[in-house]
Amino acid sequence: MEGKSLLRFLFLMFGVLLLLVFTVFNLPYATPDKAELLDCTSTWCTSKNRFLKPHFLQDPPNPTRRHHSAVPHHPLDPLTVQEFNKIRTILSSHALFKSSPYALHSIVLQEPPKPLVLTWQKGDPLPPREASVVARVNGVSHVLTLNIDMSQVTRIDPGPLSGYPMMTMEDMTSATLAPLANADFNRTIIERGIDLTDLACLPISTGWFGKSEENRRLIKVQCFSMKGTANFYMRPIEGLTVLLDMDTKEVIQISDEGRNIPIPKAADTDYRFSTINAQQQMNLLNPISIEQPKGPSFTIEDHLVKWANWEFHLKPDPRAGVIISRAMVRDPGTGEMRNVMYKGFTSELFVPYMDPTDAWYFKTYMDAGEYGFGLQAMPLDPLNDCPRNAYYMDGVFAAGDGTPYVRSNMICVFERYAGDIGWRHAESPITGMEIREVRPKVTLVVRMAASVANYDYIVDWEFQTDGLIRVKVGLSGILMVKGSPYVNMNQVNQQENLYGTLLSENVIGIIHDHYVTFHLDMDVDGTDNSFVNVNLKREQTSPAETPRRSYMKAVRNVARTEKDAQVKFKLYDPSEFHVINPSKKTRVGNPVGYKVVPAGTAASLLDPEDPPQKRGAFTNNQIWVTPYNQTEQWAGGLFAYQSQGWDTLATWSERDRPIENKDIVLWYTLGFHHVPCQEDFPIMPTVSSSFDLKPVNFFENNPILRIPPNVEKDLPNCKASASA
Amino acid sequence: MEGKSLLRFLFLMFGVLLLLVFTVFNLPYATPDKAELLDCTSTWCTSKNRFLKPHFLQDPPNPTRRHHSAVPHHPLDPLTVQEFNKIRTILSSHALFKSSPYALHSIVLQEPPKPLVLTWQKGDPLPPREASVVARVNGVSHVLTLNIDMSQVTRIDPGPLSGYPMMTMEDMTSATLAPLANADFNRTIIERGIDLTDLACLPISTGWFGKSEENRRLIKVQCFSMKGTANFYMRPIEGLTVLLDMDTKEVIQISDEGRNIPIPKAADTDYRFSTINAQQQMNLLNPISIEQPKGPSFTIEDHLVKWANWEFHLKPDPRAGVIISRAMVRDPGTGEMRNVMYKGFTSELFVPYMDPTDAWYFKTYMDAGEYGFGLQAMPLDPLNDCPRNAYYMDGVFAAGDGTPYVRSNMICVFERYAGDIGWRHAESPITGMEIREVRPKVTLVVRMAASVANYDYIVDWEFQTDGLIRVKVGLSGILMVKGSPYVNMNQVNQQENLYGTLLSENVIGIIHDHYVTFHLDMDVDGTDNSFVNVNLKREQTSPAETPRRSYMKAVRNVARTEKDAQVKFKLYDPSEFHVINPSKKTRVGNPVGYKVVPAGTAASLLDPEDPPQKRGAFTNNQIWVTPYNQTEQWAGGLFAYQSQGWDTLATWSERDRPIENKDIVLWYTLGFHHVPCQEDFPIMPTVSSSFDLKPVNFFENNPILRIPPNVEKDLPNCKASASA
């Protein structure tokens, strides 16, 4: 055994040992005994404390990086290291946690009531700092509210009736090791000719399909061979599924159905540049960069971002990833900052795979509620994930024992100039006037990238000076593939359903969907808004009236209740979707508003009664509108893990509450159908889609009418760097 | 009268005089007597010859700018100045043009037959150079083919039965002046309190609505006041429409119905930066630029563009704007250049306005076939229309008398880095592996911007190294607005239909659509291709089989004939649309292909029997596929002006010809519904949509697997310029 393999083996064995200890003592949860602040930048809590590491491109170091001494300055600022530590102290002395082992599945700021946040101004004392904690104690889930200032647990709720909290990172990592404690599992691995040291396993949420997934917190583990490649995802040990009790780590069942399926080859699967030999490297392009010699045009104070005519609060969140709050844009006429959106974030993801067979049917992920979309957001790679001119923001989260840790460079913020045009007009030869007025488009991008095991989701919030917010989701990373006996399509009977595409010898990319549901608490010039479906429909005319037979008319329908605002898009029955403030009108009398503008999207084709679709019922429509309710944040329910679909956006909306001239929340689902193709192997080029929030009669006129064009003298002088 | 107004008045009077001369002598067409090469850079042929003007950012000057000595080097290279001059000589000695005045509506290269182009290689002699000329002689249209080398007219066709050729620039400019020769017209203008010197008029294609638009080439003229603003479009003289015979310039009818409607105010309509006072200018941002210190990664020889793994032929066209030909991408495995697309261009636009009243019903523009999408493409504004690192290409077109002129900087080509990600993967905390591999995305953009009177269309062809081609259309410029007595919506009865949005006092932005139809002659690894509708549909399962109730299945349907390939998109009955080469398979046996990937689009809601929709019937589906036919280039027919819809893509497709395993052409229509909003006043921020041509099992695997990441040492050293 070579040195590296030996190390891996020892590490693995240590894990197994640790697990055995846990199992024997029936202590599935770590107790809060670590005091140090970990920086889980690169690997999960195996690296040393690096929370004061060098700051990328920040000179002088940005104060937000001083996490140990950070204090909140805004009612929405996330919990600080000191606050996390205080919470640990409060909890450790609380009766609930005294006698029992426990795990803390989520510790986040309990945001103050919206009216308090809205009236708070810089300089005011902060509203009481509260935390919301989701804990599992002896197999029971609790939702606690803590007053941090008063060092008190103020409230304990049982949480939803069905489902479990988001997994902790410890849940996930320990699940991948648990099968190794099972002799049958080890035997089948060895019988397949795989070295235990080459094993890489993934924790796969089981979903819920009926009684067998009830009353027990379950997880399935599937494994891969990482021999010869870092891209073990392309080497599945097909058909082998281990069902575990996630609390006890007990192996409940081993399903072993793929013994006839070879493990696909490792060759040509590694994507790391270091593994590609020099002759094969493709240097197609000269260096190119976005340059801002006078520095960026934005400032970030703690979590408050100010750029051009925009201002918003930005924070990392373990479940949502990125939360944008209090987005306001300056009115060019009056100079005032006007409210656009109180809160916007990725509420849930739903990723059903389209293979009903034993080892695949349950793969119907809810990446935020099960895995933590923010927990999976890894440090961004400067110069590649974000351009050179980016600013980076860290996340501070808590481990399962409550210990805070830093996820450095989790979010980046940068100005983008992509060579696009903000507005233009040239007079044509028809009029012969000498006019050519063009304004370049520069935007501000807030980005994170979450790696939920194989897949990478890139989420961009892009702010434009014309008031538009574009929310873009990019998909990259690695496909979840299935082992297959086939090496060529000519071996496949026409009648046979592969459930996907043969991507390489013995590798099938399974068809799947991605749905990303956004919570968009729009507050257009105030909290009380209405949702208007501006329906575009054919109007027939009479011959006496006009030589035309038809035209298209816009008919405004204000939604009275939630069911009026359940929208499925139709190309031939189109609408615009406006959130307006019915109490505020423009100079010429149009209600001020923002519209949601879809781009490419996809809709779920699953049977609405299919258990995964019931759990993911928030994707049944592309748009929903609900009255604001601080408890309705997560479209798949607070406890999405093994949820049964009782607590989703769809069930809330069925209550059909009034939404006219109320504080309302718009929900938008961006969808992708993904039929894999060979270009996605072994790692997929980014595929993106987006939607826009766009001012519609919000401003009196074009808000960027008065911005200047680019002129040569303002642009930088650049030269190739010395090393060129 | 101040000096400027006096000048304008004199110019106007000169025009009127000229027109009178024309009318008296019944000579509507200029005879080819001008020998000089005009550069119509800024105004229509009023500026001096500047064809050797300084070259933007090209040092040394790019040889393509030496238009007077240019010779063709590729079978598809557009006609050169010398060739245009030769064509004029050939025509002037031809019997058809001897005795009569005439106008040349189009002179373009008659592209050699496709097999000749496909077999031609660099170094081979060029196939015979031919030109296609559309001429009107004594009120009759002719389509001529010329062999330039042999100085011969080889063929004369009458052209389609209905419709007229694209207008010449002279048609358009003379039409705007013609009403001034009419005393009734002048009287009504003066009665409305408008100085004749403040008048700006537009030539508006009449469309076809029945007998009254037959057997006579017509145009309607509507006018505006340019007093106090360059943005006269915002000051319509509402309800005044002059119907002209375009050949004789005779005023046929004056419709004068809007005398009660005030001309909207000029204040706050001018968009020119020079008119905005210094205090009001909004300097929101520090300078930002895309920089490439080692220069661009592309080369352009004449019209051949080579960049990264792409190669294609690029040329300006008076009707299509930009034509991309012979697009080929390098296979990273074999190193060979592989055919993707033989020819791609904007075939037609259809822009119906949604107001059936007298002064508006006929506004149903076909911008390419009526006005010339390329003729209207004005010089791009360096640093604003395109980034600093752009290369510019000129167009060389012919005036109505055959004289060549240069439209400088009509197309730009630039590399774009927008901070986006080509592909990425980071290992998540779940596996704990130290991997973070990210590749930046750099693309090549080919851009033009056409100003069809008020509107500006930005057309981008964007090439990605992963083999994807994105075709993006941006809409900016100025709305076509309607004068209204209303200054506030509170004056408007709820039942009244404004046909649009009140944008400012007395200004209504009329609802309209934009359809842009692309001709995409795909040649995926060869000419013979098939169109496959990969339909995604719900498959119900049985309880015995799986805990799932349903999944989504991909069913491949190969289109046998044209009607199989008439596609309307449906969100709940989705498909992928592949163009495959059935004779060429990947290593694992998938047919190689490209798919067209829609993003946001819109479909026409007009009655299919409405005359405008019959003429624009090419928008009845989002996708069509036809067998290759060199005469089927223009989706609205060769003669789109006053066409009756007999010669459109829809009529061709109804022949239902076989298309399986044939040389096929894919047609894609990108649509926009535009309900104007106040932000569009007085000039609209760009709205864009796009579609993609994306490799699907075309490559054996990810074609950009082996590109390197960015590293700091390769990036430029920049400093603010000296003037900072």
Cα distances from B554 to residues A355, A646, A675, B379, in angstroms, run 12, 31, 8, 47
A299 pLDDT band, cuts 50/70/90, is: very high
State whether B378 and A436 contact (CB < 8 Å).
yes
Measured between CA atoms, the residue of chain A closest to residue B700 is A678
- B400 by Cβ neighbours in 10 Å (0-12 / 13-18 / 19+) ranks as buried
Confidence check: pLDDT of A10 > 80: no
CB contact under 8 A, B385 and A309: no
Average pLDDT over chain A, rounded to an integer? 91
The pair of three-digit structure tokens given for residue B71, joined into one six-digit string: 């010779």
The overall average pLDDT reported for chain B is 91
Q: In chain B, which residues have their Cβ closer than 8 Å to the Cβ of A474? A: 420-421
Span A29-45, mean pLDDT?
A: 38
User: How would residue B161 be classed by pLDDT, with cut points 50, 70 and 90?
Assistant: confident
SS3 B702: coil
Are the C-beta atoms of residues A379 and A407 closer than 8 Å to each other?
A: yes
- Comparing A52-56, B208-212, B347-351, the range with the smallest average pLDDT is A52-56
- CB atoms < 10 A from the CB of A281, how many? 11
Predicted confidence at residue B44, as pLDDT, reads 37
β strands within B284-331, DSSP E: 289-291, 298-301, 304-307, 310-317, 321-330
For the ranges A17-31, A231-245, A278-292, A322-336, the lowest mean pLDDT is seen at A17-31
- Which of chain B's residues have a Cβ under 8 Å away from the Cβ of A707? 281-285
Pair type for strands A575-585 and A404-426: unpaired
pLDDT at B12: 59
Residue type, B353: Y
B719 pLDDT tier (thresholds 50, 70, 90): confident
Best residue in B270, B465, B498, B677 for a mutation probing chain A (most A CBs within 10 Å): B677
In the predicted model, what is the mean pLDDT of residues A414-427? 97
User: How far is the CA of B591 from the CAs of A443, A506, B334, B582, in angstroms?
Assistant: 41, 17, 17, 6
Other Cβ atoms less than 10 A from the Cβ of B66: the count is 12
Task: Note the CATH number of domain B169-280.
Answer: 3.10.450.40
Taking a C-beta distance cutoff of 8 angstroms, is the pair B379, B410 a contact?
A: yes
| Crossing angle of helices B169-177 and B3-25, rounded to 10° | 110
Give the lowest-confidence range in A40-49, B63-72, B102-111, B312-321: A40-49
Phi, psi torsion values for A440, nearest 5 degrees: -70, 155
Strands B289-291 and A289-291: antiparallel
Average pLDDT value for residue range B272-280: 92
Q: HSE-up of B207 (CA within 13 Å, CB side)?
A: 23
Residue whose C-alpha is closest to residue A233's, from A224, A242, A241: A224
User: Could you tell me where the DSSP H helices lie in A604-659?
Assistant: 611-615, 649-654
- At residue A434, the 3 state secondary structure works out as coil
Q: Is pLDDT of B13 > 90?
A: no
Tell me the C-alpha distance between B669 and B622, whole Å.
5
CA distance A574 to A562: 19
CA distance A681 to A667: 33
Please tell me the predicted confidence (pLDDT) of residue B431: 83
Report the candidate in A586, A699, A578, A76 with the shortest Cα–Cα distance to residue A330.
A699
CB atoms within 10 A of CB B603: 21
One-character DSSP codes across B209-223: -SGGGSSS-EEEEEE
Contact A142, A135 (CB under 8 A): yes
Which residues, in sequence order, are CB contacts of B447 under 8 Å at separation 6+? B380, B385, B386, B411, B412, B413, B414, B458, B459, B460, B461
Taking a C-beta distance cutoff of 8 angstroms, is the pair B390, B381 a contact?
A: no
CB contact under 8 A, B697 and A501: yes
Could you check whether A28-157 and A169-270 share the same CATH topology?
Answer: yes
Q: Which CATH architecture has domain A169-270?
A: Roll (3.10)
In this prediction, residue A2 has a pLDDT band, given cuts at 50, 70 and 90, of very low
Tens-place pLDDT, residues B311-330: 999 999 999 999 999 999 99
Look-up of token digits 């205090």: B279
Say what percent of chain A tops pLDDT 90.
Answer: 85
User: Is A361 a catalytic site residue?
Assistant: no
Is residue A669 a contact partner of residue A517, using CB atoms and an 8 Å limit? yes
Q: Give CA–CA dist A339/A527, Å, rounded.
A: 9
Contact B600 A598 (CB under 8 A): yes
Rounded to whole angstroms, the Cα distance separating A7 from A655 reads 57
Instruction: Supply the pLDDT for residue B65.
Output: 67
* Closest residue in A to B541 (Cα–Cα): A356
Known active-site residue A455: yes
| pLDDT number for residue A43 | 37
Residue A720 confidence class, pLDDT cut points 50, 70, 90? confident
Task: Mark A208-234 as b/e (b = at least 16 C-beta within 10 Å).
Answer: bbeeebeebbbbbbbbbbbbebbbbbb
State whether residue B652 is helix, strand or coil.
helix
pLDDT for residue B393 is more than 90:
yes
Instruction: Identify the residue among A199, A421, A433, A473 best suited for mutation to test binding to B, counting B beta carbons within 10 A and taking the highest.
Output: A421
CB A154 within 8 A of CB A145: yes
Query: What is residue A9's predicted lDDT score, i.e. its pLDDT?
Result: 56
pLDDT value at A311 more than 60? yes
Question: In chain A, which residue's Cα lies nearest the Cα of B429?
Answer: A44
- Listed by start position, the domains of chain A span 28-157, 169-270
- Catalytic center residues of B: 367, 455
pLDDT number for residue A250: 96
Q: Which stretches of A159-302 are DSSP H helices?
A: 169-177, 183-191
Other C-beta atoms lying within 10 Å of the C-beta of residue A404: 24
d(C-alpha B699, C-alpha B305), whole Å: 22
Q: Please state the CATH superfamily assignment of the domain spanning residues B300-427+439-714 in this structure.
A: Copper amine oxidase, catalytic domain (2.70.98.20)
> How much is the average pLDDT of B397-413?
96
List the structure tokens of A363. 């793969």
Is the CB of residue B207 less than 8 Å from the CB of residue B162? no
**Residue B101: which pLDDT band, with cuts at 50, 70 and 90?**
confident
Only one residue has tokens 């399926």, namely: A261
Q: Which pLDDT score, from 0 to 100, does residue B429 have?
A: 77
The fold adopted by the segment(s) A28-157 is: Nuclear Transport Factor 2; Chain: A, (3.10.450)
Least confident of B19-33, B42-56, B58-72: B42-56
User: What tokens does A398 get?
Assistant: 């808590």
Q: Note the pLDDT of residue B57.
A: 30
Is A350:A344 a contact under the CB 8 Å cutoff? no
Tell me what the mean pLDDT of segment A374-390 comes to.
Answer: 96
Which whole number is the average pLDDT over B186-191? 95
CA distances from A373 to A319, A365, A457 (A): 5, 12, 9
pLDDT tens digit sequence for A558-602: 999 999 999 999 999 999 999 999 999 999 999 999 999 999 999
- Which residues in chain A are closer than 8 Å to B541, comparing Cβ atoms? 356
Q: Which residues of A touch B645 (CB under 8 A)?
A: none
* Gap between the Cα atoms of B518 and B693, Å rounded: 12
Q: Tell me the chain B residues in contact with residue A588 when contact means C-beta distances shorter than 8 Å.
A: 487-489, 502-505, 678
Question: Closest-CA residue in chain B for A421?
Answer: B385
- Residue A510, burial from CB neighbour count under 10 angstroms (0-12, 13-18, 19+): buried
**pLDDT score of A17:** 54
pLDDT at A658 over 80: yes
Q: What percent of chain A has pLDDT over 70?
A: 90
pLDDT exceeds 80 at position A226? yes
- Nearest CA to CA, how far is B620 from chain A (Å)? 11
Q: Residue A237 above 60 pLDDT?
A: yes
Q: Is the pLDDT of residue B479 over 80?
A: yes
Q: According to the model, what pLDDT value does residue B428 have?
A: 85
Q: Is the pLDDT of residue A40 over 60?
A: no
> Out of A171, A367, A394, A456, which one is annotated catalytic?
A367
Q: Is B473 left (phi over 0), alpha (psi -120 to 50) or beta?
A: beta
pLDDT for residue A293: 86
Residues 6+ positions from B174 with CB-CB distance below 8 Å:
B19, B22, B28, B249
Q: Is the dihedral of CA B560, B566, B567, B568 positive or negative?
A: negative
pLDDT at residue B1, rounded to an integer: 42
The model's pLDDT over A486-519, given as tens digits with 9 standing for 90+, comes to 999 999 999 999 999 999 999 999 999 999 999 9
B640 vs A283: which has the higher pLDDT: B640
Rounded mean pLDDT of A248-271? 96
Copy the structure tokens of residue B348.
């037609």
